[in-house]
Amino acid sequence: MYVLLFSCGKSNSSEEMNSKDDFASFMSGEAYLGSAKSILYLHGYEAFPSVSGKGSFSVSNVSGDNITVALICELSGGDGFSFGISGKQTGRNWSATFDTGTFVIQENGSMSGTIQTDDQEISWTGHLFDDRVMLDVKLKYMKQQGNITEGSIISTHLDLFRSSESEQVANGCSTIVWENRAVFNLYSGGVDMMRVPVCHD
Protein backbone atom coordinates (compact mmCIF):
# COMPACT_ATOMS: atom_id res chain seq x y z
CA MET A 1 0.00 0.00 0.00
CA TYR A 2 1.42 3.38 -0.98
CA VAL A 3 -0.30 6.27 0.70
CA LEU A 4 0.35 9.94 0.02
CA LEU A 5 0.01 11.69 3.35
CA PHE A 6 0.38 15.18 4.62
CA SER A 7 3.12 14.90 5.75
CA CYS A 8 6.58 14.59 12.78
CA GLY A 9 13.38 19.08 22.42
CA LYS A 10 14.71 20.43 24.91
CA SER A 11 12.68 23.00 26.82
CA ASN A 12 15.37 25.62 26.29
CA SER A 13 15.52 25.07 22.53
CA SER A 14 12.75 27.52 21.63
CA GLU A 15 14.92 30.28 23.13
CA GLU A 16 17.76 29.21 20.84
CA MET A 17 15.42 29.35 17.86
CA ASN A 18 14.40 32.89 18.81
CA SER A 19 18.04 33.98 18.54
CA LYS A 20 17.97 33.39 14.77
CA ASP A 21 17.20 36.30 12.46
CA ASP A 22 14.44 34.57 10.50
CA PHE A 23 13.00 31.16 9.62
CA ALA A 24 15.27 30.70 6.59
CA SER A 25 18.47 31.38 8.52
CA PHE A 26 17.33 29.10 11.34
CA MET A 27 16.75 26.19 8.94
CA SER A 28 19.49 26.91 6.37
CA GLY A 29 21.98 24.13 5.67
CA GLU A 30 20.59 21.73 8.26
CA ALA A 31 17.87 19.09 8.45
CA TYR A 32 15.95 17.00 10.93
CA LEU A 33 16.02 13.22 10.55
CA GLY A 34 14.73 10.37 12.66
CA SER A 35 11.94 7.88 13.19
CA ALA A 36 8.34 7.65 11.95
CA LYS A 37 5.42 5.45 12.94
CA SER A 38 2.07 5.21 11.14
CA ILE A 39 -1.23 3.63 12.19
CA LEU A 40 -4.22 3.08 9.90
CA TYR A 41 -7.64 3.40 11.57
CA LEU A 42 -10.02 1.79 9.11
CA HIS A 43 -13.46 3.44 9.19
CA GLY A 44 -11.88 5.85 11.68
CA TYR A 45 -11.73 3.44 14.64
CA GLU A 46 -10.44 -0.05 13.66
CA ALA A 47 -6.71 0.18 14.34
CA PHE A 48 -4.24 -1.83 12.28
CA PRO A 49 -0.74 -2.68 13.58
CA SER A 50 1.65 0.26 13.45
CA VAL A 51 4.28 0.48 10.71
CA SER A 52 7.68 2.01 11.47
CA GLY A 53 10.13 3.85 9.26
CA LYS A 54 12.19 7.02 9.03
CA GLY A 55 11.50 10.62 8.16
CA SER A 56 13.04 14.02 7.47
CA PHE A 57 12.07 17.68 7.69
CA SER A 58 13.95 20.41 5.82
CA VAL A 59 13.55 23.50 3.65
CA SER A 60 14.09 23.79 -0.09
CA ASN A 61 13.74 26.41 -2.83
CA VAL A 62 14.38 29.49 -0.71
CA SER A 63 13.74 32.71 -2.63
CA GLY A 64 13.58 35.80 -0.47
CA ASP A 65 10.77 35.24 2.02
CA ASN A 66 9.29 32.39 -0.05
CA ILE A 67 10.33 29.04 1.41
CA THR A 68 9.25 25.48 0.61
CA VAL A 69 9.12 23.04 3.51
CA ALA A 70 9.82 19.40 2.59
CA LEU A 71 8.52 16.56 4.77
CA ILE A 72 9.34 12.96 3.89
CA CYS A 73 8.36 9.68 5.52
CA GLU A 74 9.63 6.28 4.33
CA LEU A 75 7.97 3.30 5.99
CA SER A 76 9.10 -0.31 5.91
CA GLY A 77 7.81 -2.24 2.92
CA GLY A 78 8.00 0.78 0.63
CA ASP A 79 4.99 2.72 1.94
CA GLY A 80 5.22 6.33 2.98
CA PHE A 81 4.78 9.89 1.79
CA SER A 82 6.63 12.96 0.63
CA PHE A 83 5.39 16.46 0.06
CA GLY A 84 6.52 20.06 -0.31
CA ILE A 85 4.58 23.06 0.95
CA SER A 86 5.40 26.49 -0.44
CA GLY A 87 4.97 29.16 2.22
CA LYS A 88 6.24 32.54 3.29
CA GLN A 89 8.27 33.66 6.27
CA THR A 90 7.55 36.73 8.37
CA GLY A 91 10.54 37.00 10.64
CA ARG A 92 10.76 33.69 12.47
CA ASN A 93 7.21 32.68 11.52
CA TRP A 94 6.36 30.56 8.47
CA SER A 95 2.92 29.94 6.99
CA ALA A 96 1.31 28.43 3.90
CA THR A 97 -2.21 29.59 3.03
CA PHE A 98 -4.73 27.60 0.97
CA ASP A 99 -8.34 28.24 0.06
CA THR A 100 -9.36 25.61 2.61
CA GLY A 101 -6.92 26.26 5.45
CA THR A 102 -3.36 26.99 6.53
CA PHE A 103 -0.19 25.34 7.81
CA VAL A 104 1.75 27.44 10.35
CA ILE A 105 5.06 27.33 12.21
CA GLN A 106 5.03 30.07 14.84
CA GLU A 107 7.98 31.98 16.24
CA ASN A 108 7.96 29.84 19.39
CA GLY A 109 8.12 26.66 17.25
CA SER A 110 4.47 25.61 17.58
CA MET A 111 3.26 23.80 14.44
CA SER A 112 -0.42 23.60 13.56
CA GLY A 113 -2.77 23.56 10.60
CA THR A 114 -5.51 21.82 8.67
CA ILE A 115 -6.55 21.89 5.03
CA GLN A 116 -9.16 19.98 3.07
CA THR A 117 -9.16 18.70 -0.49
CA ASP A 118 -11.94 16.93 -2.38
CA ASP A 119 -10.70 13.57 -1.11
CA GLN A 120 -8.85 14.21 2.14
CA GLU A 121 -8.59 16.31 5.27
CA ILE A 122 -4.97 16.84 6.24
CA SER A 123 -3.69 18.21 9.54
CA TRP A 124 -0.45 18.52 11.44
CA THR A 125 0.33 19.48 15.02
CA GLY A 126 3.63 19.51 16.84
CA HIS A 127 6.67 21.57 17.78
CA LEU A 128 9.86 22.67 16.06
CA PHE A 129 12.71 22.93 18.54
CA ASP A 130 16.29 23.95 17.82
CA ASP A 131 17.43 20.33 18.02
CA ARG A 132 14.24 18.34 17.42
CA VAL A 133 10.91 18.14 15.60
CA MET A 134 7.99 16.27 17.19
CA LEU A 135 5.16 16.19 14.66
CA ASP A 136 1.86 14.34 14.28
CA VAL A 137 0.37 14.20 10.79
CA LYS A 138 -3.20 13.01 10.29
CA LEU A 139 -4.98 12.26 7.04
CA LYS A 140 -8.70 11.58 6.98
CA TYR A 141 -10.29 10.06 3.88
CA MET A 142 -13.41 11.94 2.75
CA LYS A 143 -14.04 9.35 0.03
CA GLN A 144 -13.14 5.69 -0.38
CA GLN A 145 -9.81 5.15 -2.11
CA GLY A 146 -9.08 1.56 -3.04
CA ASN A 147 -9.32 -0.56 0.10
CA ILE A 148 -9.32 2.46 2.40
CA THR A 149 -12.91 3.33 3.28
CA GLU A 150 -14.46 6.76 3.72
CA GLY A 151 -13.78 8.07 7.23
CA SER A 152 -10.54 6.11 7.62
CA ILE A 153 -7.62 7.90 9.26
CA ILE A 154 -3.88 7.43 8.87
CA SER A 155 -2.00 8.91 11.82
CA THR A 156 1.77 9.34 11.63
CA HIS A 157 4.10 10.44 14.42
CA LEU A 158 7.56 11.72 13.50
CA ASP A 159 10.36 12.22 16.04
CA LEU A 160 13.24 13.91 14.23
CA PHE A 161 16.60 15.22 15.42
CA ARG A 162 18.75 17.95 13.91
CA SER A 163 22.01 17.21 12.15
CA SER A 164 24.30 19.74 10.52
CA GLU A 165 26.91 19.20 7.83
CA SER A 166 29.59 19.42 10.52
CA GLU A 167 27.98 16.66 12.59
CA GLN A 168 26.62 13.96 10.32
CA VAL A 169 24.83 11.95 12.98
CA ALA A 170 21.06 12.02 13.49
CA ASN A 171 19.20 9.32 15.37
CA GLY A 172 21.42 6.49 14.12
CA CYS A 173 22.18 7.96 10.70
CA SER A 174 25.94 8.00 10.18
CA THR A 175 26.01 9.62 6.72
CA ILE A 176 23.64 12.28 5.37
CA VAL A 177 23.71 13.19 1.68
CA TRP A 178 21.62 15.97 0.12
CA GLU A 179 20.03 14.60 -3.06
CA ASN A 180 17.46 15.72 -5.61
CA ARG A 181 14.28 13.72 -5.06
CA ALA A 182 10.74 13.83 -6.48
CA VAL A 183 8.45 15.43 -3.87
CA PHE A 184 4.67 15.89 -4.11
CA ASN A 185 3.65 19.55 -4.50
CA LEU A 186 0.69 20.28 -2.26
CA TYR A 187 -0.42 23.27 -4.34
CA SER A 188 -0.25 21.93 -7.86
CA GLY A 189 -0.87 18.25 -7.16
CA GLY A 190 2.18 17.45 -9.28
CA VAL A 191 5.74 16.42 -8.47
CA ASP A 192 8.77 18.72 -8.09
CA MET A 193 12.45 17.89 -7.81
CA MET A 194 13.73 19.13 -4.46
CA ARG A 195 17.04 18.92 -2.65
CA VAL A 196 16.37 16.86 0.48
CA PRO A 197 18.50 15.05 3.08
CA VAL A 198 18.89 11.30 2.62
CA CYS A 199 20.24 8.98 5.29
CA HIS A 200 22.87 6.48 4.11
CA ASP A 201 23.68 4.07 6.95
What is the three-class DSSP state of 26?
helix
CB 33 within 8 Å of CB 171: yes
CA distance 173 to 190: 30
CATH of 13-200, one of 2.40.128.20, 1.10.1040.10, 3.40.50.720, 3.30.1330.30: 2.40.128.20
CB 113 within 8 Å of CB 123: yes
What does each of the 201 residues of the chain score in pLDDT, given as a tens digit? Answer: 334 443 333 444 444 444 468 999 888 777 899 999 999 999 999 999 999 999 999 998 888 899 999 999 888 877 888 888 889 999 999 999 988 889 999 999 999 999 887 788 989 999 999 999 999 999 899 999 888 999 999 999 999 998 754 444 545 666 777 777 777 666 656 677 777 877 776
For residue 19, give Cα distances in angstroms to 15, 22, 165, 190. Answer: 7, 9, 20, 36
Q: What is the pTM of this model?
A: 0.80
